[in-house]
């Protein structure tokens, strides 16, 4: 077997037993790797109906055929589990040296199940697994844990750690690796915490055989050259935080818990401003030639904080909670990374809390006498610290906006800005209608990355303000191509460096694995993976009512910015959703027919 190891490792933390299993070339070909292979493994190893915090819910770290090759931006891995935030499929990607070490363990995936009876650090060295007492790591931040683990095993190991938030089962806790990179969305850090697993150290030296090194190198050289060209200019220079001023101008920057679709003081936290006042250097993941990470430093004379700043964190900890002070945004983003929470869910849940406080549903007693106000950095920092410890109001907010609003009642579900429990990213759906559909139907909840549907909206391909039915196929195609990227795995910031992504990927795949696939085969794999994700959700209780958007979005027109007055009614959204189901070949209720499962070679898998 080339490009893959053909093996997975199952680690049971309860019994401390490890089992090695073969995985067939057919499964690898059909699900590629990364997110796709992880979806297959989650479907197989996650018992139906299990609570996400039950020890039988597995957490799966998945490598990919491209990891550890010379293809730029390919040092990525996927983490899958049943999400404690949504109760549906949870998948996240992260990057850098951990992806390389994971690949070199000699396994295509690590499945961690069970629960340790004591605080645990897993050390995985090729096929050797050590269960080490991690009592001393308990309570440390993500970066402190990483440093401590490297003191034990040396700087060559790569680590995956959780912070206090993961330990305290904050439902949007992240997993941190390689100095602050995050598998952020869906709450995988909380699942790690539920297993009493504080961290994982990984090192390996098992190389896979590459089918055609010479031809692969030719493509790698070409892609490296393209990756420092026009197709990545924004990512390389200002980074994704350049979106702040642009989205603000286009009326697509949500602020004040989606009460507004632009932000008066956006300039103060913009990429241009940050670059002039806080920028230190660009950084990049292992084996990446783009370098999208922009390291920013505070300059307000208080404690010196340095952190990566990117668009989604700046949106969620800035405009969404009304903060226009760049130092405060940097501090909040850094704190999220240290306590180990997803910045988007954290910001959106705090925005919900601020609005609930203003409406009298949360009291001063709940907040330890701290007034929660939009634009007040103290509100945000107080909430973040309480969330990490699940103290006071933090215990409620640690549940995420969906559960917190249900527990609070008083109509607060109306302004809980999530889909299926996952909080909304920084794309205003009322003025980005393809994105609106992508957010509504995404299997992991309000996610901008799994469909990249915004791309059509930011082009002449569609009228972004119109709810027409052509958006169904566009969203489906976007999802299927995106999941191929997330399975190969290659960074989405490289996507415009390809002339024909599916075709060029099929060539790369052949040179790595020796398996000949066409671009149509890859597209079919994308469709297969997304259908299996949907089948997982159906198995876990999905109904058509879950494919929707927050009530505020469906009941209020945009009030500010250039798209003022633009609406998205429930009826219009449902028409787009039906067009998406039709494109997918699903029933009007969004269910998958047996014939469709048969066509995608999924029938046997879902019937087992």
Partner 1 sequence: MTQDKNVNLVKIKIELFGTARMLTRKKNILINVPINTTLTTILSETLNQCPELSENIISIKPIKLRKSYTMNLNGYSYLENEKLKIKPNDSILLIPSQSGG
Could you give the CA distance from residue 489 to residue 493 in angstroms, rounded to a whole number? 12
Choose, by CB under 8 A, the member of 245, 451, 513, 579 that binds partner 1.
245
Instruction: Decide if residue 310 touches partner 1 (CB under 8 A).
Output: yes
The helix (H) or strand (E) run that includes residue 387 is helix 377-389
Shortest Å distance, C-beta 561 to partner 1: 9
**3-class DSSP state of 94:** strand
Could you give the CA distance from residue 6 to residue 108 in angstroms, rounded to a whole number? 7
Site string for partner 1, 403-432 (x = CB under 8 A): ------------------------------
Instruction: Decide if residue 289 touches partner 1 (CB under 8 A).
Output: no
Cβ count within 10 A of residue 458? 17
Choose, by CB under 8 A, the member of 146, 293, 312, 540 that binds partner 1.
312
Given the complex with partner 1, which of 198 and 448 has the nearer CB atom?
448
Choose, by CB under 8 A, the member of 311, 415, 536, 581 that binds partner 1.
311
Choose, by CB under 8 A, the member of 128, 249, 281, 516 that binds partner 1.
249
Instruction: Decide if residue 152 touches partner 1 (CB under 8 A).
Output: no
Shortest Å distance, C-beta 572 to partner 1: 19
User: Shortest CA distance to 89 belongs to which of 194, 185, 230?
Assistant: 185
Contact by Cβ (8 Å): 188, 175: yes
Shortest Å distance, C-beta 314 to partner 1: 10
Given the complex with partner 1, which of 42 and 238 has the nearer CB atom?
238
Instruction: Decide if residue 51 touches partner 1 (CB under 8 A).
Output: no
Instruction: Decide if residue 484 touches partner 1 (CB under 8 A).
Output: no
Choose, by CB under 8 A, the member of 149, 242, 351, 577 that binds partner 1.
242
Instruction: Decide if residue 475 touches partner 1 (CB under 8 A).
Output: no
Peptide bond just before 202 cis, omega within 30 deg? no
Choose, by CB under 8 A, the member of 16, 231, 564, 601 that binds partner 1.
231
Choose, by CB under 8 A, the member of 75, 243, 255, 408 that binds partner 1.
243
Shortest Å distance, C-beta 315 to partner 1: 9
Shortest Å distance, C-beta 407 to partner 1: 32
Contacts of residue 492, defined as CB under 8 A and 6 or more positions apart, other chains included, come to 449, 452, 482, 485
Given the complex with partner 1, which of 231 and 601 has the nearer CB atom?
231
**3-class DSSP state of 84:** coil
User: Shortest CA distance to 254 belongs to which of 439, 459, 420?
Assistant: 439
Q: Which residue do the tokens 């998205």 mark?
A: 568
Choose, by CB under 8 A, the member of 117, 133, 369, 459 that binds partner 1.
459
* Only segment of 112-120, 217-225, 454-462, 473-481 that touches partner 1 (CB under 8 A): 454-462
For partner 1, how many residues bind (rule: CB under 8 A)?
38
DSSP 157: S
Please report, as residue ranges, which positions from 562 to 601 form the binding site for partner 1 (by CB under 8 A).
562
Contact by Cβ (8 Å): 422, 85: yes
Instruction: Decide if residue 101 touches partner 1 (CB under 8 A).
Output: no
User: Shortest CA distance to 560 belongs to which of 416, 428, 425, 458?
Assistant: 428
Shortest Å distance, C-beta 464 to partner 1: 8
Given the complex with partner 1, which of 211 and 237 has the nearer CB atom?
237
Cα separations in angstroms, 417 against 344, 350, 402, 517, 590: 11, 11, 8, 41, 23
Choose, by CB under 8 A, the member of 130, 205, 207, 272 that binds partner 1.
272
Could you give the CA distance from residue 334 to residue 377 in angstroms, rounded to a whole number? 13
Q: In what order do the strands lie in the sheet with 59-62?
A: 17-22, 7-12, 109-113, 59-62, 76-82, 89-95
Please, what's the largest Cα pairwise distance for the chain?
67
Given the complex with partner 1, which of 493 and 536 has the nearer CB atom?
493
Cβ count within 10 A of residue 459? 10
Given the complex with partner 1, which of 203 and 241 has the nearer CB atom?
241
User: Shortest CA distance to 68 belongs to which of 5, 131, 26?
Assistant: 5
Contact by Cβ (8 Å): 446, 419: yes
Choose, by CB under 8 A, the member of 34, 271, 392, 445 that binds partner 1.
271
Interface positions with partner 1 (CB under 8 A):
229-235, 237-238, 240-243, 245-246, 249-251, 271-272, 275-276, 310-312, 452, 454-455, 458-460, 464-465, 492-493, 495-496, 562
């Amino acid at each position: 077997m080339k490009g893959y190891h053909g093996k997975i490792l199952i680690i049971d933390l309860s019994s401390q037993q490890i089992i090695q299993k073969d995985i067939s070339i057919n499964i690898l070909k059909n699900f590629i790797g990364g997110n796709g292979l992880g979806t297959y493994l989650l479907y197989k190893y996650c018992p139906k109906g299990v609570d996400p915090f039950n020890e039988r819910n597995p957490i799966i770290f998945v490598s990919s055929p491209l990891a550890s090759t010379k293809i730029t931006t390919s040092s990525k891995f996927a983490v899958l589990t049943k999400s404690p935030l949504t109760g549906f499929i949870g998948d996240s990607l992260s990057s850098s040296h951990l992806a390389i070490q994971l690949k070199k363990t000699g396994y295509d995936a690590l499945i961690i199940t069970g629960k340790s009876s004591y605080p645990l650090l897993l050390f995985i060295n090729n096929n050797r697994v050590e269960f080490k007492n991690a009592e001393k790591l308990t309570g440390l931040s993500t970066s402190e844990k990483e440093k401590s683990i490297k003191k034990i095993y040396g700087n060559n190991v790569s680590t995956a750690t959780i912070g206090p938030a993961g330990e305290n089962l904050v439902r949007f806790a992240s997993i941190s690796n390689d100095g602050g990179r995050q598998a952020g969305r869906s709450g995988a850090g909380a699942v790690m915490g539920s297993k009493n697993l504080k961290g994982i150290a990984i090192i390996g030296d098992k190389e896979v055989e590459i089918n055609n090194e010479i031809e692969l190198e030719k493509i790698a050289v070409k892609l490296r050259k393209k990756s420092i060209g026009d197709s990545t200019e924004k990512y390389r220079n200002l980074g994704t935080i350049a979106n702040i001023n642009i989205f603000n101008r286009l009326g697509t920057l949500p602020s004040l818990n989606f009460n507004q679709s632009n932000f008066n003081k956006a300039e103060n936290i913009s990429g241009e401003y940050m670059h002039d006042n806080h920028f230190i250097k660009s950084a990049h993941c292992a084996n990446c030639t783009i370098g999208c990470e922009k390291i920013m430093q505070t300059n307000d004379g208080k404690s010196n904080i340095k952190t990566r700043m990117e668009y989604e964190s700046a949106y969620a900890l800035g405009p969404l909670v009304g903060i226009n002070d760049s130092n405060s945004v940097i501090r909040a983003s850094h704190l999220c990374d240290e306590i180990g929470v997803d910045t988007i869910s954290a910001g959106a849940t705090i925005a919900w809390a601020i609005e609930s406080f203003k409406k009298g549903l949360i009291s001063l007693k709940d907040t330890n006498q701290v007034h929660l106000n939009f634009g007040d950095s103290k509100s945000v920092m107080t909430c973040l610290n309480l969330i990490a410890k699940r103290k006071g109001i933090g215990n409620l907010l640690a549940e995420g906006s969906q559960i917190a609003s249900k527990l609070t009642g008083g109509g607060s579900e109306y302004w809980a800005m999530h889909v299926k429990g996952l909080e909304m990213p920084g794309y205003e759906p009322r003025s980005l209608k393809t994105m609106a559909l992508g957010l509504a139907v995404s299997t992991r909840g309000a996610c901008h990355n799994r469909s990249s549907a915004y791309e059509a909206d930011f082009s002449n391909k569609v009228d972004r303000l119109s709810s027409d039915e052509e958006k169904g196929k566009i969203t489906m195609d976007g999802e299927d191509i995106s999941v191929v990227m997330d399975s190969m795995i290659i960074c989405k910031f490289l996507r415009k460096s390809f002339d024909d992504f599916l075709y060029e990927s099929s060539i790369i795949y052949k040179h790595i694995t020796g398996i000949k696939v066409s671009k149509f085969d890859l597209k079919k794999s994308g469709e297969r993976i997304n259908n299996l994700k949907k089948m997982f959700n159906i198995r876990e209780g999905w109904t058509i009512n879950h494919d929707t958007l927050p009530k505020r979005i469906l009941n209020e027109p945009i009030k500010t910015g250039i798209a003022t007055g633009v609406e998205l009614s429930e009826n219009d959204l449902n028409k787009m959703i039906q067009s998406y189901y039709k494109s997918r070949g699903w029933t009007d209720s969004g269910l998958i027919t047996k014939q469709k499962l048969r066509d995608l070679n999924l029938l046997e898998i879902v019937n087992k």
